[in-house]
Amino acid sequence: MKYYIIAGEASGDLHGSNLMKALLQKDANANIRFWGGDLMRKAGGTLVKHYKEMAFMGFLEVLMNLGTIAKAIKFCKADIQKFQPDIIIFIDYSGFNLRIAKWAKEHGFKTNYYISPQIWASREGRISDIKRDIDAMHVILPFEKEFYEKKHNYPVNFVGHPLIDAIENRTTVDGYKFRSDNNLDAEKPIIALLPGSRKQEVQKMLTLMLSVVKDFTAYQFVIAGAPSLDHDFYEPFLKNPNVSFVTNKTYDLLSISHAALVTSGTATLETAIFKVPQVVCYKANWLSYQIAKRIITLEYISLVNLIMKKEVVKELIQNDLTTTNIRTELKNILEGPARTAQIQAYDELEKKLGGRGASVKAAELIVKNAEF
């Protein structure tokens, strides 16, 4: 059968690649065409457009690139028409995907969504669009099933979180070799910096994260470079001898880290699964934040706290994200009761995520939906 997958970010590329591997196991004749990234390209199929071309962050950046987005939507519709897939699979990336889903449903294509748009965070009214345009929704967060089914009377499939498989299936890293290969200090404990994957957020986050380096000379700070950004982009941030850089090796880095400063998003959950105590950092441009503050109704911004329904990790948001506060909260998780409490809460969090096999479960449901 023919599958058309649309993922628009680094996290979507990761989850899309694992879904593709599962689809190819379940359907030996699978013909997959997709929007995604390098991980999906390695999994097989035909890459139509790389997510790097569509990586716009925040309301202001989206507004400034409306022309590019409109051209991409037009191109996507034409490409789907030409390919004539048996089913279209949307992965997160709601602003783009829900527009394509409306058109796809009107033109008779089967539509499945894997990894729900975060309508539980903002613009809940889009549930009417989802009910109209999406034939089946496969969710990965435990509270999403209750949100859709109890609050909106829309049945969904909770398949578990694919990060569990992605992390457990990775090759175990040799910490000594990793340090040697990446010119890291052999003795100093590591504080990992995960500043995001888009230029605007990385520039903002790294400037603030690195402002505390001088206060923690017994540790070494290591920046986790995003695969979507070139090494040259990070050069200005590597002037301090106690700051190092690795690219496209975030999981290996987390596996040997003592603590982390993490920009909100999927990375907060990845850090938790690796049992690394963290401080969550987030700061948008003023206009984007003012808009978001008025439409996002969540008590927390990190997935860790949202799933646990309490503050497990400290969140420093917008004006609270200062050098002083970063220094204080980082000290708290380097040793002592706050560190122990986070690690214990992570064990409970992992149980809530539903165990292994998310990608396989989702693939089985998608193949079945494509057949009928």
What are the extents of the domains in the chain? 2-160+357-371, 168-352
Give Cα separations from 372 to 238, 269, 291, 365, 368 (angstroms).
Answer: 55, 35, 42, 11, 7
Distance between CA atoms of 229 and 194, rounded to whole angstroms? Answer: 13
Cβ atoms of 115 and 94 closer than 8 Å: no
Topology of the domain comprising 2-160+357-371 = Rossmann fold (3.40.50)
Task: Give the CATH number of domain 168-352.
Answer: 3.40.50.2000
Task: Report H helices in 149-265.
Answer: 152, 162-168, 175-181, 199-209, 231-234, 250-255
Cβ atoms of 13 and 7 closer than 8 Å: yes
Q: What is the pLDDT of residue 122?
A: 81
Q: What angle do CA 239, 270, 343 make, to 5 degrees?
A: 100
Element (H or E) spanning 82, and its range? helix 66-83
**10-residue averages of pLDDT along the chain (372 residues):** 93 92 95 95 94 62 64 94 98 92 98 94 91 97 94 96 87 91 96 91 93 97 91 93 95 97 91 97 65 61 92 94 97 97 95 90 96 82
Task: Report H helices in 107-174.
Answer: 127-133, 142-146, 152, 162-168
Q: What is the pLDDT of residue 186?
A: 94
> Which value, to the nearest 10 degrees, does the dihedral of the CA atoms of residues 39, 43, 48, 54 take?
-20
Name the residue among 52, 58, 57 with its Cα closest to residue 228. Answer: 52
Residues 52-92: tens digit of each pLDDT:
876 555 544 555 556 677 888 999 999 999 999 999 999 98
Domains 2-160+357-371 and 168-352 share a fold: yes
Structure-token pair, residue 280: 């969550």
- For the chain, how long is the longest CA-to-CA vector? 61
Q: What is the pLDDT of residue 296?
A: 57
> Which value, to the nearest 10 degrees, does the dihedral of the CA atoms of residues 312, 318, 324, 325 take?
-10
Residue showing tokens 């889903």: 101
Q: Model pTM? A: 0.80
Sequence-distant (≥ 6) Cβ neighbours of residue 187 within 8 angstroms = none
Q: What is the pLDDT of residue 63?
A: 54
Cβ atoms of 264 and 302 closer than 8 Å: yes
Give Cα separations from 364 to 29, 112, 369 (angstroms).
Answer: 14, 12, 9
Name the residue among 118, 95, 97, 94 with its Cα closest to residue 34. Answer: 97
